[in-house]
A and B are shown apart, each in its own frame.
Chain A
Amino acid sequence: MNYAARIGNLRKEYRLGGEAVHALRGVTFDVPEGDYISIMGPSGSGKSTLLNLLGCLDRPTSGSFLLGDDDVSRMTDDQLSETRARRIGFVFQSYNLLPALTVVENIEVPLVYSGRVTRGDRQRCVELARLVGLGERLEHRPAQLSGGQQQRVAIARSLVNDPRFMLADEPTGNLDSATTEEILNLLERLNRDGRTIILVTHEAEVAERTRRTIVLRDGQIQTDKRR
């Protein structure tokens, strides 16, 4: 079996006002390619810390994190940036679009940092916007879009470098149920195309739509159930 990621005894400690906070206390799980995983848990359970590590925004204090065949825990800051740009698609709860840029320009941003913007890429961005149903709003700014539309722009943006590995941090947290449905359908479609998706959520209905649910508690895995 091919693994998109393998996490072994992952630990993360912070210093907060001189006191050590153990956010993750040894987390181990494998992510087969094409898996669709939801991570749940109460606040403070280490969900966000885990997602930051998986997203290469941070390095673990100890333990290993193999993304494909590469050990993320040994990467330099620049290598982490490069990995984020080329191999990981990010979707955030609060969309995190750049307000000054148009829909197309927002979708383009990761391309800039992976070092290639060509005429063909522009076309790709337009196609991605169409894919998420925003073909008519290419030149709009985020402020002119609804929450669901903004999240769809964010998803299109996460796809622009064609990553195999997608991370979503409560992607439906700010959306009503109809829009939530749309976004989940979109994610499901992407998963069917072969992309590995890990999403963090605290809504059971959302978690039920995934194939596997990992519940964290106090920095450790409480349950890891496959449906």
Chain B
Amino acid sequence: MSIPSQKTCPGVPYKASRAPAAVLCPFRAYYAFFVRISDKGGLFINSGKKLVIALCVLAVLVSGAFFAYRHLTPKVAEGTKTITVSVRHADGQLRTFKITTAAEYLSGALEQEKLIEGTEGQYGLFVTSVDGEAVDSSKQQWWGYTKSGAYVDTGVDKTVISDGDSYEFSLHAGQ
């Protein structure tokens, strides 16, 4: 087997490795870059004026984040609302429920009707059973849901409900 040239990665000595040199080169060069910069003391910013400007920029960023949270987070609707929940079972049977509730989140409305069961996990409530049909983990089954046919990117305990909403639950298998 021929030994690769030492010029395969400029500035970094050749060392036999199982990984291809083309993969290792960028990482070695990246590490060597920081070693060189930091060994020379790095960049230097110590001007009071620049620090005050940076502090002001940070304050603006914090305010911006707070503003985004206040105005972009879905608002909780107070009072009684009526929603429609359809459940498509594994055998194709479709059952529809009209729920009148004062709950703010979808999980509250479903638990009120005893329609779901689940376990609390790292990412909130993980639904394990809907309308009496439990998932079979050996078949990698899971309950998914949409709102008026559109994908919902929050769990049932984070989904804010409004009057007239329509949700569809269906059993999926696999990833």
A, B assembled together? no
